[in-house]
């Protein structure tokens, strides 16, 4: 097991989520290649959100629920 893997094993679930957030945010939008279908799906989801912005679950709530399952 690599040193990085060992370090990851020692992180709490919350710390792993924080790391995941930081990694995702570090990716530049132009580095991500989306297919036409993926772009269409994202556009669809954005349109649905704009129609009913109250019909969503905040990331913090999703994250808290995932942490509880661990």
The pLDDT confidence band at residue 52, using thresholds 50, 70 and 90, is: very high
- Maximum C-alpha span of the chain: 48
Q: Where are the domains of the chain?
A: 1-32, 33-70
pLDDT tens-place string over residues 4-34: 888 989 999 889 988 988 888 887 656 778 8
Task: Supply 59's token pair.
Answer: 């990331």
Give percent above pLDDT 70 in the chain.
90
- Average pLDDT value for the chain: 87
What pLDDT score does 23 carry? Answer: 86
> CA–CA distance from 63 to each of 15, 30, 37, 53, 66 (Å)?
12, 26, 27, 19, 5
What pLDDT score does 37 carry? Answer: 95
């Amino acid at each position: 097991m690599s040193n990085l893997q060992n370090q990851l094993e020692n992180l709490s679930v919350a710390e792993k989520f924080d790391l995941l957030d930081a990694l995702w945010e570090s990716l530049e939008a132009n580095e991500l290649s989306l297919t036409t279908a993926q772009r269409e799906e994202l556009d669809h989801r954005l349109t649905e959100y704009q129609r009913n912005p109250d019909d969503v679950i905040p990331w913090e709530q999703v994250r808290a629920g995932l942490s509880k399952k661990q």
